[in-house]
């Protein structure tokens, strides 16, 4: 069960990309916290800034064109953004480690699995190569790689996608990190493999006593594994709450839209899936006011005048919508589940 | 790996046959009568016919080709029209000089080219990058022999630091100008290629993974990016040997270097076709063999190729 | 009579319907008209923003103007010899000096641009024609023709450009027509590969299947669908190859197997300068610069076009 002390606190993070066409505000004022042993889900469409948020935490934004322009990222009270290069190297992969979206491209094709795994261990632990090898074998066994002795000397292209992701996970937990960030860890995998990988991560979290930030666009994943969830839209957090609250009482029109666009077992069959109309905005020259308003069915005049601040609709449940309280209170009247034709 | 090497060797056989066939056709359709060329003016028709019969050029083309191929594979490149000596002995005399010069040029090419390319890539848009980009762009467009002449005038004539031309006593002073000239274009290509493959490698996901593991920039670039970036550059260095061979003719001519290139040039002036073609066959042969070696190194560097059973024809 | 007319009409209308259907399918499946014009518009926009490419383009345009208006721009007859003005340095009368025979170097350079441009354009034109035809056969029909053509292309790739040109020129003998042939013959392989590649990459796309299903003929598919798609890489490659062709021509002329005297060619002027680099360095400086600037123009333009058509490559 999650503890109450915060292990990671992100405050007003802003990461911009300076391109030929203008400034892309990929992350524009994101704040959240992560508690010990907690699993936090970050949900959003492609381009909503969720991956950039994750990369910003380890300062892995390519610079140029990217730059973290504002904010604080506090790990146990220490600001990651103030670390020098040496501290940062000791920190990455050691206290916080990352699993990436595409296991096909995130492993170096010209080095063996064993080489890349041992490298992760030796970067942070002062042990002999032989010990690192032993340790690698243990890790590979933990993540469920068969025939380890032979596989150790194989190259990434000899592995299936799921197996490669297992190797990535082994690399990520090699130094018993406090936080594991998984950036869409299953998007590139087959559906049958997805569940296995998620289950593995869940198990390992219990074993290694770490916190997880899981970034996904799959609400099902969030519902099953996350304790709390942050929904992002166009570089900003729009709703942040415990998982149950968000699923049963979504208080932001965008979240409501997301819920409608997925299939639910408890839904009556005659209810039709309803996609959100329109497409996500370009992140250059964003308009004043709420960015979602052009696609929003609840939009009022005020929405085009200023951007709504996060509003606490109930304890621990925040929504960035002027009508959040109405949505929360009048929830039953809205009756969103019964979509009319 | 053994399988791979055998397959590559089998693949070059048709290429060698094709190249020799092409060269032979060129030799065969030569408009001048070699017999006339050898015996000069005033030779009797009988003498000419005798010589033609002796040289075998009165026989049909396929017989001649077969003889030529047989000669080629037993290492006989024919007889010079001018000197009445075997082409082999003429080329053998000059070969060591060309090899030594080419070797010096390749060393310059590898060291300067790769180094400049890496600096340019990791300090992208810095003054070094701009400098490397400008100088490589210009070097690619410079005629080699002209660069040689400029170097001769500057360092040989005006400054008097280095000998202007010739092999001299074979000391390193004599090598510098011709080797730099010969290496110039290739160095520029290597530097450009190294820059772009390095940038490409650095943009890969596995680089982010390596940083996320907590590796230092030195290790990320020196290990993870380097090996991937070097693979295409190794290929380029191999492929580029061709232009190095072509450049040798021009460079050796400008610097009066007693190698095969200058021998070919002199043979061109004397219309001594067997020497020209024989020399070219040797140069192309070396080029093909070097390509084979490069391919093997390539397979050793890139594990994905080694295991590929059938090469897709796309 | 009546019915016959009706039949004829029907047949015609049938054909027309078919045509319309194919057109419609084409537009539907690839939004052809929109996407292609916007591709060129975007490319032009990117090209205009690229300063180096615009610099290259201005050099190329300037060169074409110089070649066209050579008689008006030159100050002297490029082949007239003035014995008493032999080996004069640059002065008011002769801006770039004179050569051994007292000919005006400035005027010779102006006229020399004609040779370089002719070779560049005609030789590359020959390469493109051969390359496209063979590439089309290879890519479209596959199987045996493909294997044969691609093996031949391999042989041509194995042949270092300058060596090949030297061998061909030795056999054909010097002269500008032979230069067209030699350089044109050697350069086709890369075009064949590009065109074959574009054919293969889009051969199985839905809109081609659709066009075929609707009864479009092979040649129609190649001309209407595949060629416009392959056009961008071909134009890029052709531009760069013009630079290469000019450099090779200069090298051939330098070696004495290219353009023959007294015609002014830059490479030839450099070989004439070789014997006098100590007493008349201007003889080599200006023709060399002319080659350098010209080739630079085509290379920069080619690089710019490549980046403009495929911004990903940058």
The verdict on A150 and A278 lying in the same domain is no
Residue A67 lies in a domain: yes
Residue A82 lies in a domain: yes
Domains along chain B?
87-306 (1.10.3720.10)
Higher-confidence position of A289 and B308: A289
Ranges of H-type helices in chain A = 50-57, 85-91, 113-122, 129-142, 148-151, 161-172, 191-208, 219-225, 243-248, 253-260, 324-329, 331-334
Name the residue facing B287 among C158, C256, C270 (closest C-beta): C158
* Residues in chain B, overall count: 314
Residue corresponding to tokens 């290929």: B235
Structural domain count, chain A: 2
The verdict on A199 and A298 lying in the same domain is no
Q: What subunits touch chain C, counting only 3 or more CB pairs under 8 A?
A: B
Instruction: Find chain A residues with C-beta within 8 A of B307's C-beta.
Output: 157-158
Q: Which of A187, A212, A231 is the last residue of a domain?
A: A231
Name the residue facing B273 among C171, C200, C274 (closest C-beta): C171
The verdict on A101 and A183 lying in the same domain is yes
pLDDT in tens, B173-230: 888 889 999 999 889 989 988 998 898 888 888 888 888 888 888 888 888 888 888 8
Q: Which of A231, A246, A279 is the last residue of a domain?
A: A231
The verdict on A215 and A271 lying in the same domain is no
Interface A–B counts its CB contacts (< 8 A) at: 76
| Closest chain B residue to C193, measured at CA | B314
Which residues, 6+ apart, have CB-to-CB distance to C28 below 8 Å?
Answer: none
The verdict on A238 and A202 lying in the same domain is no
Averaged pLDDT for residues A190-195? 79
Residue A178 lies in a domain: yes
Instruction: Find chain B residues with C-beta within 8 A of A183's C-beta.
Output: none
Residue A39 lies in a domain: yes
Return the pLDDT at C62: 92
Whether A55 and chain B come into contact, CB under 8 Å, resolves to yes
Return the pLDDT at B112: 92
The verdict on A222 and A268 lying in the same domain is no
The CATH number of whichever domain residue A185 belongs to comes to 3.40.50.300
CB A178 within 8 A of CB A96: yes
Residue corresponding to tokens 């929504």: A319
SS3 for A49?
coil
The verdict on A77 and A135 lying in the same domain is yes
* CB contact residues (below 8 A), chain C span 248-287, against chain B: 250-251, 254-257, 267, 270, 273-274, 277-278, 281, 284, 287
pLDDT in tens, A73-100: 888 888 888 888 888 888 888 888 888 8
pLDDT in tens, B95-116: 888 888 888 898 899 899 999 9
Whether B309 and chain A come into contact, CB under 8 Å, resolves to no
Higher-confidence position of B187 and A261: B187
Task: Copy the structure tokens of residue B309.
Answer: 């059973």
pLDDT in tens, A33-46: 888 888 888 988 87
Question: How many whole angstroms separate alpha carbon B179 and alpha carbon C303?
Answer: 28
Residues of chain C below pLDDT 70:
1-38, 158-160, 203-208, 225, 311-314
| Of the ranges A276-280, B29-33, C125-129, the best mean pLDDT one | C125-129
Task: Copy the structure tokens of residue A23.
Answer: 């400034």
Nearest to A254 by CA among A311, A294, A307: A294
Higher-confidence position of C209 and A182: A182
Return the pLDDT at C206: 67
Instruction: Find chain A residues with C-beta within 8 A of B215's C-beta.
Output: 89, 119, 123
Averaged pLDDT for residues B69-73? 76
**Complete edge-to-edge strand list for the sheet that includes strand A311-314:** A96-99, A179-183, A211-216, A39-43, A228-233, A236-242, A317-319, A311-314
Return the pLDDT at A250: 80
Long-range contacts of C307-312 (CB under 8 A, 24+ apart): C307/C46, C307/C50, C307/C53, C308/C42, C308/C43, C308/C44, C308/C46, C308/C47, C308/C50, C308/C53, C309/C39, C309/C43, C309/C232, C309/C233, C309/C236, C310/C232, C311/C46
* Cβ pair B214:A158 closer than 8 A: no
Question: How many whole angstroms separate alpha carbon C265 and alpha carbon C287?
Answer: 9
Residue A81 lies in a domain: yes
The verdict on A130 and A223 lying in the same domain is yes
Q: Which region among A12-26, A139-153, A299-313, B171-185 has the lowest average model confidence (pLDDT)?
A: A299-313
pLDDT in tens, C286-312: 888 999 999 999 989 988 888 887 755
Higher-confidence position of A341 and A235: A235
Residue A1 lies in a domain: no
Q: What's the N-to-C CA distance of chain B in angstroms?
A: 22
The verdict on A186 and A258 lying in the same domain is no
* Cβ pair A171:B211 closer than 8 A: no
- A114: containing domain: 6-231
Residue A59 lies in a domain: yes
Q: What's the ipTM?
A: 0.82
Return the pLDDT at B30: 60
Q: Which of A176, A210, A231 is the last residue of a domain?
A: A231
Name the residue facing C162 among B137, B138, B249 (closest C-beta): B249
The verdict on A285 and A298 lying in the same domain is yes
Task: Copy the structure tokens of residue B10.
Answer: 């089998």
CA angle B160, B164, B166 (to 5 degrees): 145
CB atoms within 10 A of CB A161: 16
The verdict on A294 and A166 lying in the same domain is no
Instruction: Find chain B residues with C-beta within 8 A of C154's C-beta.
Output: 15, 18
The verdict on A197 and A245 lying in the same domain is no
Q: Which region among A328-337, B47-56, B155-164, C166-175 has the lowest average model confidence (pLDDT)?
A: A328-337
């Amino acid at each position: 069960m999650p503890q109450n002390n915060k292990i990671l606190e992100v405050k007003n993070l802003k990461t911009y990309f300076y391109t030929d066409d203008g400034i892309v505000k990929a992350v524009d004022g994101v704040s959240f916290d992560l508690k010990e042993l907690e699993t936090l889900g970050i949900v959003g469409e492609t381009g909503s800034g969720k991956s950039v948020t994750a990369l910003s935490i380890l300062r892995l934004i390519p610079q140029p064109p990217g730059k973290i322009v504002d904010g604080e990222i506090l790990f146990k009270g220490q600001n990651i953004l103030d670390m020098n290069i040496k501290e940062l190297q000791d920190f990455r992969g050691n206290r916080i480690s990352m699993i990436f979206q595409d296991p096909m491209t995130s492993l170096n094709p010209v080095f063996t699995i064993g080489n890349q795994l041992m490298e992760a261990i030796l970067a942070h632990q002062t042990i002999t190569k032989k010990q690192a090898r032993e340790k690698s074998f243990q890790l590979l066994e933990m993540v469920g790689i068969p025939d380890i002795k032979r596989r150790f000397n194989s190259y990434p292209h000899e592995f299936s996608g799921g197996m490669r992701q297992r190797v990535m996970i082994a690399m990520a937990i090699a130094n018993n990190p406090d936080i594991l960030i998984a950036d869409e860890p299953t998007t590139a995998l087959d559906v049958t493999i997805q569940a296995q990988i998620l289950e593995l991560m869940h198990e390992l979290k219990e074993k290694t006593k770490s916190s997880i930030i899981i970034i996904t666009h799959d609400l099902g994943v969030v519902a099953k594994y996350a304790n709390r969830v942050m929904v992002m839209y166009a570089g900003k957090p729009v709703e942040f709450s415990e998982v149950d609250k968000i699923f049963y009482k979504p208080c932001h029109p965008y979240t409501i839209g997301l819920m409608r666009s997925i299939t639910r077992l408890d839904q009556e069959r005659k209810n039709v899936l309803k996609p959100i109309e329109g497409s996500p905005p370009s992140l250059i020259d964003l308009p004043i006011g709420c960015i979602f308003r052009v696609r929003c069915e609840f939009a009022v005049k005020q929405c085009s005048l200023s951007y709504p601040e996060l509003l606490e609709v109930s304890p621990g449940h925040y929504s960035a919508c002027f009508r959040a309280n109405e949505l929360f209170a009048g929830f039953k009247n809205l009756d969103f589940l019964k979509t009319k034709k | 790996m053994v399988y791979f090497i055998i397959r590559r060797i089998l693949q070059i056989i048709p290429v060698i046959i094709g190249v020799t066939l092409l060269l032979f056709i060129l030799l065969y359709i030569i408009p001048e009568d070699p017999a006339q060329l050898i015996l000069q003016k005033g030779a009797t028709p009988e003498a000419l016919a005798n010589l033609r019969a002796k040289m075998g050029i009165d026989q049909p083309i396929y017989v001649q080709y077969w003889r030529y191929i047989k000669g080629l594979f037993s290492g006989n490149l024919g007889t010079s029209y001018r000197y009445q000596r075997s082409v082999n002995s003429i080329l053998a005399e000059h070969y060591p000089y060309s090899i030594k010069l080419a070797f010096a040029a390749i060393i310059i090419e590898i060291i300067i080219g790769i180094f400049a390319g890496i600096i340019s890539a990791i300090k992208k848009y810095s003054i070094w990058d701009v400098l490397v980009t400008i100088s490589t762009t210009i070097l690619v467009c410079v005629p080699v022999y002209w660069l040689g002449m400029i170097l001769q005038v500057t360092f040989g004539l005006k400054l008097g630091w280095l000998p202007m031309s010739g092999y001299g006593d074979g000391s390193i002073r004599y090598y510098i100008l011709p080797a730099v000239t010969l290496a110039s274009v290739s160095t520029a290509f290597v530097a450009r290629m190294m820059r772009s493959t390095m940038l490409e490698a650095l943009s890969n996901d596995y680089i982010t993974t390596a940083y996320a593991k907590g590796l230092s920039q030195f290790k990320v670039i020196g290990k993870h990016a380097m090996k991937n970036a070097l693979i295409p550059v190794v290929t380029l260095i191999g492929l580029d040997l061709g232009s190095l061979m072509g450049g040798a003719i021009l460079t050796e001519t400008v610097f009066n270097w007693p190698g095969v290139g200058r021998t070919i040039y002199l043979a061109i002036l004397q219309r001594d076709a067997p020497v020209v073609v024989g020399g070219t066959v040797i140069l192309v042969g070396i080029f093909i063999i070097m390509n084979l070696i490069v391919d093997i190194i390539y397979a050793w560097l890139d594990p994905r190729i080694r295991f590929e059973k059938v090469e897709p024809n796309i | 009579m009546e019915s016959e007319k009706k039949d004829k009409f029907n047949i015609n209308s049938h054909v027309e319907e078919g045509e319309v259907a194919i057109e419609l399918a084409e537009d539907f499946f690839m939004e052809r008209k929109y996407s292609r014009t916007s591709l060129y518009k975007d490319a032009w926009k990117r090209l205009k923003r690229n300063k180096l490419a615009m610099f290259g383009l201005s050099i190329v345009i300037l060169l074409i103007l110089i070649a066209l208006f050579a008689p008006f721009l030159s100050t002297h007859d490029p082949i007239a010899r003035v014995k008493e003005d032999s080996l004069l340095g640059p002065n008011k009368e002769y801006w770039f000096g004179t050569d051994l025979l007292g000919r005006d170097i400035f005027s010779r350079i102006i006229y020399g641009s004609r040779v370089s441009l002719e070779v560049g354009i005609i030789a590359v034109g020959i390469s493109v024609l051969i390359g496209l035809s063979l590439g089309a056969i290879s890519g479209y029909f596959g199987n045996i023709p493909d294997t044969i053509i691609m093996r031949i292309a391999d042989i041509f790739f194995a042949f270092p450009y300058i060596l090949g040109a030297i061998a061909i020129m030795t056999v054909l003998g010097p002269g500008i027509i032979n230069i067209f042939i030699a350089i044109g013959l050697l350069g086709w392989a890369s075009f064949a590969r590009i065109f074959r590649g574009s054919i293969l990459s889009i051969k199985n796309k839905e809109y081609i299947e659709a066009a075929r299903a609707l009864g479009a003929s092979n040649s129609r598919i190649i001309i209407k669908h595949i060629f416009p798609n392959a056009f961008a890489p071909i134009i890029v490659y052709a531009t760069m190859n013009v630079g290469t062709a000019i450099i090779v021509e200069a090298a051939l002329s330098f070696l004495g197997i290219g353009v023959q005297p007294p015609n002014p060619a830059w490479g030839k002027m450099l070989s004439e300068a070789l014997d006098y680099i100590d007493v008349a360095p201007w003889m080599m400086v200006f023709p060399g610069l002319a080659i350098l600037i010209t080739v630079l123009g085509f290379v920069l333009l080619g690089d710019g076009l490549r980046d403009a058509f495929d911004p990903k490559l940058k």
